[in-house]
Amino acid sequence: MNTDFGLNKHLKSFLYAIWIPAILVILWTIGSNTRVLNNSIFPTPQKLFGAWYEMIISGKYLTHVISSFSRVIKGFFVGSILGITLGTIIGLFSSAKKSTVALIGMLRPIPAIALIPLFILSLGIGETSKVAVIVLGSFWPILINTIAGLSTTDSKLLEVGTIFDKSKRQVLFNIIFPSAAPYIFTGLRLGVSSSWTCVVAAEMIAASSGIGYLISYGREMAQPATLFIGVFSMGLYGLLIELLVINLQKKAIYWIPNSK
């Protein structure tokens, strides 16, 4: 009885989520097959999925996906360690905050993508410059949210630490860090989606593999199907990563009821 209800609910929300994309696909199919949509820009779905299937069978697709993912993982890993460490220091010490507030305010509005040429000049055209873009892209949201989380601990909870004569270390690990966890997680979530945007941008400018590369290759070779494989893959993996992170967040921040 209960599980039936749950299944029904899942089905319902799935249908809600899918109906607009389904209509778009139908319009696209009709539009491209009747040539209302220019076929040299919008391939028909048959052509797109045919090309995608071929690319998967030949193994090329997997190579591209793996190279994008490995860049994201490396960059995001370094970016989150840097963001959390520096964010903790800045969030805890007001002197560190005062000393960095102007610097952060100035540097943060610069999009990581705008620095790609600089990274290529200084780090070369290889993997390092691409990973560096992702490091920077994930670093900012994680840094900002970690600072916010650590500097906004509820003073009423901090007083509980004082009342029970807890050491600074105990207060840090038992009160300040857990209070900041939801913020840090929000930062990680924004960071991972920013990493994904950055990897594609970096690959479009200088790479010989990856999903971003598929897009720029498709454009250069006038192969709209290849271009769209890249674009759709971006959206698809972006969505999967988002779902994964939301699930992890629910498990990690278990004490906030109905956290979404």
Partner 1 sequence: MSIEIRNVKKVFPIKNSTIEVLKNVDLKISDGEILSIVGGSGCGKSTLLRIISGLDNATDGEVIIDGKKVDGSSKKDIGVVFQEPRLFPWSTVEKNIEFGITDKLTKEEKKERVKYYIDLVGLTGFEKALPHQLSGGMQQRVNIARSLINEPKALLLDEPFGALDAFTKINLQNEVLKIWEQKKTTLIIVTHDIDEAIYMGNRVVVMSSKPGVVKKEIPVELPRKRNRTGTDFAYIRRKIYKEFFEETEV
Q: Tell me which residues touch partner 1 (CB under 8 A).
A: 156-157, 159-160, 162-166, 174-175, 178, 181, 254-257
| Shortest separation between residue 132's beta carbon and partner 1, angstroms | 35
Apex 222 CA angle, 26 and 195, nearest 5: 75
CA distance 5 to 13: 12
Taking the least distance from each CB to partner 1, the nearer of 4 and 165 is 165
Q: Which amino acid is at 225?
A: A
Taking the least distance from each CB to partner 1, the nearer of 129 and 249 is 249
Task: Count Cβ atoms below 10 Å from residue 80 Cβ, excluding itself.
Answer: 24
| Residue 33 and residue 44 in contact, taking contact as beta carbons nearer than 8 Å | yes
CA distance 133 to 128: 9
| Shortest separation between residue 146's beta carbon and partner 1, angstroms | 17
Taking the least distance from each CB to partner 1, the nearer of 73 and 181 is 181
CA distance 183 to 121: 35
The dihedral built from the CA positions of residue 183, 185, 190 and 195, taken in this order, carries a sign that is: positive
Q: Which amino acid is at 25?
A: V
Q: Which amino acid is at 155?
A: S
| Shortest separation between residue 166's beta carbon and partner 1, angstroms | 8
| Shortest separation between residue 176's beta carbon and partner 1, angstroms | 11
Three-state DSSP state, 259? coil
| Shortest separation between residue 183's beta carbon and partner 1, angstroms | 13
DSSP 114: G
Taking the least distance from each CB to partner 1, the nearer of 177 and 232 is 177
Taking the least distance from each CB to partner 1, the nearer of 40 and 167 is 167
Taking the least distance from each CB to partner 1, the nearer of 103 and 156 is 156
| Shortest separation between residue 164's beta carbon and partner 1, angstroms | 6
The dihedral built from the CA positions of residue 112, 117, 121 and 126, taken in this order, carries a sign that is: positive
